[in-house]
Amino acid sequence: MRNILTTISNAWKLPDLRKKILITVALLVAFRFFAYVPTPGVDIDRLRELFATNQFLSLLNIFSGGTLVNFSVMALGLNPYINASIILQLLTLVFPKLEALAKEGEYGRQKINQYTRFLTVPLAIFQAIGMYALLRNQNIIDVLSPVALVSMILTMVAGTVLLMWLGELISEYGIGNGISLLIFAGIVVQIPVMFGQTATTFNQEQLFNLAIFVLLGIVVIGAIILMNEATRRVTIHYAKRIRGTQMHGGQSTHLPLRLNQAGVIPIIFAVSLVLLPSLIGNFIQNVPNPVLSRIGLFLSTSFNPAGLLYNVVYFLLVVGFTYFYTAVIFNPGKIATEIQKHGGFVPGIRPGTATAAYLNYILTRITLAGATFLGLIAILPSIAQQVTGVQNLLLGGTGILIVVSVVLELVKNLEAQLLTRSYEGFLK
């Protein structure tokens, strides 16, 4: 904690970093302001009663940053954008043209981001229609005229686009990843609300269970920090080379391979997908078609956050996305080529292809440990709720993981920028 405060204090002393911090804070404040601008035509009191009795909707509200329970203009949150990102990254593995575009550096990244924005709009329209149908089935919103319905859908889509734009502004002009920070901010502001709800509902007999729940949360935070910082160090030797009258190389260094290369992204992706079946189920379970109605009822009941199927699918999605995203961001072949280009080698391993295979071998095994840990963290709160009986603390390991990971990444980002400026000052 002292290290975090010291880093922030040092960053604040530099004018350019202070400007970035202020821009980030201002954009986060704007996000929270729009989170309380309601969409017209919704009975907010009845909506809050529904969320208080529906665990799925309460969990969905947490990851929308509290915008859903207020049914604000940003009620859809970043879910459409995240789903669009997942689809584009999966398509990159299928279509060679997209794969080639992804390898074109900054230009390719900008084009894929543009495609992601385009895909976000139809996904947001679909989710807005689904949300309207859900609220209509619960009698929280009246049947709207075509004009009013189109106006509501466009308002919700515009809110998602605005939120996406704020995230990109933070990434470009602020500190850290904008999308992650917006999700982080949305989760953090829900923590006092959840603790307040728990304090007003638990009795003396639940005090011991609540203490166990809090203790478990502290242990989980420690484990998350430990796993995020854990690395497998691969020794790299550099051959001695003589240039003119000077000898270069001959030293040893280490290539750090993190157990959790993908960070918090697999959790965000998995949450976005695992919540979809319940959303679709709530949408179609009241349609006149009996087959679709039965399917909707099955989806809405089976994918309850406390259900077995939900947690099994959630665990598998987290593991799968951890492997997938690690493969996207870490290329053993490219690393092996760079090592060989600079005259380096792994002791006992031939340079080039053999080194790439060796790095892939290590990465596959340490990623298994990291992916399993992330999956267990994701489903552990459901188990803890069943054991302790504390149901109101829906934040869970997923929210804790996002909060802790974003804080750690933010501090590392600040430290890296401080270090860069220290080198610049030294060179001057």
Within a domain: residue 418? no
Residue 389 · residue 209 · CB < 8 Å: yes
The answer to whether residues 47 and 158 belong to one domain is yes
Of 158, 189, 220, the residue at which a domain comes to its end is 189
368 pLDDT exceeds 60? yes
1 pLDDT exceeds 60? no
| pLDDT for residue 59 | 63
The answer to whether residues 43 and 8 belong to one domain is yes
Tokens matching residue 127: 């989710």
R_g over Cα of the chain: 24
The answer to whether residues 165 and 59 belong to one domain is yes
Within a domain: residue 415? no
The answer to whether residues 10 and 147 belong to one domain is yes
- Residue holding tokens 């940053």? 65
The answer to whether residues 118 and 212 belong to one domain is no
Tokens matching residue 308: 């077995």
Beta bridge partners of 234: 255
Domain harbouring 85, CATH code: 1.10.3370.10
- Residue holding tokens 């954008």? 81
302 pLDDT exceeds 80? no
Mean pLDDT for 1-28 is 78
The answer to whether residues 137 and 11 belong to one domain is yes
Q: What is the DSSP string of 9-31?
A: HHHHTSHHHHHHHHHHHHHHHHH
Of 144, 165, 189, the residue at which a domain comes to its end is 189
Mean pLDDT for 155-165 is 89
Within a domain: residue 409? no
Mind listing the pLDDT tens digit for each residue in 84-119? Answer: 887 887 788 778 888 788 777 777 778 888 888 899
Distance of alpha carbon 212 from alpha carbon 202, whole angstroms? 14
The answer to whether residues 267 and 390 belong to one domain is yes
The answer to whether residues 160 and 264 belong to one domain is no
| pLDDT for residue 250 | 60
24 pLDDT exceeds 80? yes
Average pLDDT, the chain: 77
| pLDDT for residue 144 | 73
The answer to whether residues 226 and 335 belong to one domain is yes
Distance of alpha carbon 316 from alpha carbon 368, whole angstroms? 12
Within a domain: residue 420? no
Of 157, 189, 221, the residue at which a domain comes to its end is 189
Tokens matching residue 343: 């005259």
Distance of alpha carbon 34 from alpha carbon 305, whole angstroms? 28
pTM: 0.73
Question: 10: which residues sit within 8 A by CB, 6+ positions away?
Answer: 418
Count Cβ atoms below 10 Å from residue 208 Cβ, excluding itself: 10
The answer to whether residues 388 and 269 belong to one domain is yes
Within a domain: residue 144? yes
Which of the pair, 397 or 321, is modelled with greater confidence?
321
Give the count of domains, the chain.
2
54 pLDDT exceeds 80? no
Within a domain: residue 137? yes
The answer to whether residues 158 and 63 belong to one domain is yes
426 pLDDT exceeds 50? no
Tokens matching residue 131: 């949300």
Which of 5-19, 87-101, 108-122, 195-209 comes out lowest in average pLDDT? 195-209
Give percent of the chain with pLDDT exceeding 90.
1
Which of the pair, 64 or 219, is modelled with greater confidence?
219
The answer to whether residues 97 and 117 belong to one domain is yes
Within a domain: residue 401? no
Within a domain: residue 406? no
| pLDDT for residue 39 | 76
| pLDDT for residue 60 | 66
Distance of alpha carbon 238 from alpha carbon 338, whole angstroms? 12
* Confidence tier at 334 by pLDDT (50, 70, 90): confident
Mean pLDDT for 9-20 is 79
Range of the domain at 359: 201-394
| pLDDT for residue 425 | 46
